[in-house]
Each structure stands twice: as C-alpha cells, then as structure tokens.
Chain A
Amino acid sequence: GDSVTQMEGPVTLSEEAFLTINCTYTATGYPSLFWYVQYPGEGLQLLLKATKADDKGSNKGFEATYRKETTSFHLEKGSVQVSDSAVYFCALKEGGGNKLTFGTGTQLKVEL
C-alpha cells in the first residue's frame, strides 16, 4: 500500500538557518504530493502541493520538488523564522482518489 516516510524530529534550528525536512514515498500509481503544517493546538493547513513529476510547490518561502526518480518530496526553506516552529506533515494522494496518506510528522523548533 501507499506510505510516506519522513525524517524524525524534533529538528532544532537557529533563526535564519537553512531548513530541509526529508520526505520519501511509496505509491503504486502517480500520486499528488502535499506538505501540511500544524501549529500547536490547531488543525492542519496546506502549505504547498505538487501534482506531477518535476513540479515545484512553493509558499511562504517554503519549496518542495516532486522527484519521481528518487520518490522524494523534500521540504526546504532558505531562512527560517521563529514563527515557522510547528509540525510539518508530508502526504500523498493517489490519482482519482480522495484519501490522504500522511507521514508521522516532523517537529521543527526555531530558536533566536
């Protein structure tokens, strides 16, 4: 079945550091890929998405590129802020379906 593997957290960075959160997936077809963010005590918000190979999703300085050859969708940001502290979830959805499969989440802590 479909699965998503994320790097374990917590990831602790200083403000303005470069961020990478790794995400790899296993899917039978050609899934769409998503990154969601969850702030403390809240639900999930869509951060960015990509629907086909080599697509780059971007939002609020975050980027991720759909790499079919490595089945990866790593999240990157050039300069993190304290306000980026949250839990980040990588997810996939098989084409034509509605079900999202989530990774276990990676907690990011950004310190001054």
Chain B
Amino acid sequence: DGGITQSPKYLFRKEGQNVTLSCEQNLNHDAMYWYRQDPGQGLRLIYYSQIVNDFQKGDIAEGYSVSREKKESFPLTVTSAQKNPTAFYLCASSIGVGRERVTEAFFGQGTRLTVV
C-alpha cells in the first residue's frame, strides 16, 4: 500500500543526545514536511522540502536539522540545541508545487518523542 511511514512510534532519549526520526514515503511525492504538535498549539512547521537535495526552514527550525538525499526519505534530527524536544512529530508529503491543482498533504502516523 502507498503511504508514509514514520518510525519509531515512540522514542525515548536522554537530555543532551541527538535523535533522528525516520520518514519514508512511497507515493512518489516531491514535497515533504515535518511538523511538531504540542497540546493546544496545533501543528507548527519545522522544515519542508520541495525537491531532492533542497529544503527550507519552517516556523520553528531552531534546534532541528534535515536532509533530503532521496525522494522517498526526509529524516529529521532533533539536536541537543532544541530546548523543549518532547512532542509529537508528524511527517507529511504532497505531490508538489503547482498553481493548476490543489495538492493535499498526506500524513504519517507520527512519532512521540520523550526526552528525559
């Protein structure tokens, strides 16, 4: 089945450690995104990528890094510089940019990161 896979579903890390969250899609989508979800704050955009080997900062990129070496994969690293890393992280993808059509975003199941 086509879709977006995030792994793992739950992740625990000690404070000060970097951690990488995986996101893979087999939808042949050009664009991929990372969002952070906190209670009462909705979804906030961390990073997004519209094409392989290119990505842009979203609204809350500090303390995070990404790479886009393959079309299917968009891993997110939460670094020790991120002051409040405990959150629910959602990866999404969409077909790509185009004025002629509305491209909906498809979401993964999310990874809940807890830093202790």
Q: Which residue of A lies closest to B58 (CB)?
A: A99
A70 within 8 A of B: no
Known: A42-B109, A98-B94, A98-B97. A51 touches B102 (CB 8 A): yes
Q: How far is the CA of A43 from the CA of B106 in the complex (A)?
A: 9
Contact of A96 among B98, B104, B106 (CB under 8 A): B98
B108 within 8 A of A: yes
Interchain CB contact under 8 A, B90 and A49: no
Q: How far is the CA of A97 from the CA of B4 in the complex (A)?
A: 21
Residues in A lying within 8 Å of B, measured CB to CB: 32, 34, 36, 41-46, 49, 51, 89, 93, 95-100, 102-105
CB proximity of A14 to chain B, nearest CB, Å: 25
Residues in B lying within 8 Å of A, measured CB to CB: 4, 6, 31, 33, 35, 40-43, 45, 48, 50, 58, 90, 92, 94, 96-99, 102-110
Interchain CB contact under 8 A, B104 and A99: no
Q: A43-B110, A104-B42 given; name 6 further pairs at CB < 8 Å.
A: A36-B107, A42-B109, A44-B43, A44-B90, A44-B92, A100-B45
Interchain CB contact under 8 A, B104 and A49: yes
